[in-house]
Amino acid sequence: MKKKLLPLAIAAAMAPGFAAAADVSGFGDINYVVTDDAANVPGAKNPNEGKFGTNAELDFTASPADGVTFRSDVDLSLTGNGTIGANNGGGANASGATGGPTDSGSLEQAFFAWGATEGVTVIGGVFNDPIGYEAEDVNDRTFMHHDVVYNILDQQTTLKGDNVAGLAVAGAVGPVTLTGAMLNDLQQTNGENSFALVANYSPIKGLDLELGSVSQASSTKNANSAETVTDFNVAYSPEQVAGLMVGLDYLTAGKIVDSAYSFFVSYDIGHGLGVAARAENVSWNSTAAAVVGTQDSKRTTFNVSYQVASNLKAVLENANGDSANPVPAVTGIMKDNSTTLNLVATF
């Protein structure tokens, strides 16, 4: 499930007859750097290779039968000393190293979901960005490294993990689900609010379409603001080919980034074995050309996964970035070839 749709899924559970419930769930991600070319120094030991890292999350949900659903997610990570924080992949390098403090903990989400009327849900608090395809948490996505579209959206939000703060209303308008939100300025430096509008539509079984946009006013305080960002994504799982999924996430912005896309395909071979591939590209806006140049940033990613048990998955992933003018703070892409092994356990 796409993590950003969890508020709607939780609210849908608040139908008449839904029993009172309190639930604790979460995951742990043990990751190991097999290779990392970017950290290679001739004549010296590679400081990243052969290193373990870990991330974990605790999710708390309360859903009283006659009340408002509340959810909070707490992230825990070991990210110091060059180890890898794959849950927040795409930070300081293509392998996902975050360079943050050792043994850190932070609040990812804290929101309520209220079924105001039949078919209309009100969501308030800090929650995952409503636009873009890729989920925040490693257990909710196919690839261990975040893609460029997620990283660009995350770079626009001051809050950790591509989160936003505000109030959203979602409801069905015919076959389309519309979500509108009034948010704090994404980078929390502008006095004006940001506004988001998202439309979700599934015209046939297995085909999911989404179009979303979030505004940012131009401001001298917001040097890194991409201003208004618009995203379109599509995912298709054809009934004729069981286990196959293909998708595209495409983003355009007013400044810095002209366009970015992530094209991906995954196939569940069976018996717990799966394969996936992804191609990514970023084209720069003329406002950023003086800094990053005009050459596109690109990356290809391949992985093989195996479902060891119902609550444990192993993923071996290779990411190969190619950019003459890398801007990892925006895209997560470096001129790098890295291979990581992830063991993701859930409860």
Cα separation, 185 vs 104, whole angstroms = 26
pLDDT tens readout for residues 91-130: 333 333 333 445 667 888 999 988 888 888 899 999 999 9
Residue 85 pLDDT: 39
Residue 93 pLDDT: 33
Q: Determine the structural domain holding residue 277 and report its residue range.
A: 3-346
Residue 217 pLDDT: 80
Q: Count the alpha carbons within 13 Å of 43 in the hemisphere toward its beta carbon.
A: 0
Q: Per-residue pLDDT for the chain (347 aa), expressed as one digit of tens each?
A: 455 655 555 555 444 444 556 789 999 999 999 999 877 777 778 888 999 988 999 999 888 767 788 999 999 876 543 333 333 343 333 333 333 445 667 888 999 988 888 888 899 999 999 999 999 999 999 999 999 999 999 988 888 889 999 999 999 899 999 999 999 988 777 678 999 999 999 999 999 999 999 998 876 566 677 889 999 999 999 999 999 999 999 999 988 889 999 999 999 999 999 999 999 999 888 666 555 666 788 999 999 999 999 999 999 999 998 865 556 667 777 778 999 999 999 99
Cα separation, 308 vs 178, whole angstroms = 38
Which residue matches tokens 């959203």? 168
The conformational region for residue 65 under phi > 0 = left, psi -120 to 50 = alpha, else beta, is alpha
Q: Could you please report the per-residue DSSP string of 124-168? A: EEEEE-SSSSS-SSGGGSS-SSPPHHHHHHHHH-SSTTTEEEEEE
Other CB atoms within 10 Å distance of the CB of residue 329 = 12
Residue 329 pLDDT: 64
pLDDT tens readout for residues 281-305: 998 886 665 556 667 889 999 999 9
How open is the CA angle 146-150-152, to the nearest 5 degrees? 120
Domain CATH for 45: 2.40.160.10
Q: Could you please report the per-residue DSSP string of 193-248? A: PEEEEEEEE-SSTTEEEEEEEE-----TT-TT---SEEEEEEEE--TTSTTEEEEE
- pTM for this structure? 0.88
Number of domains in the chain: 1
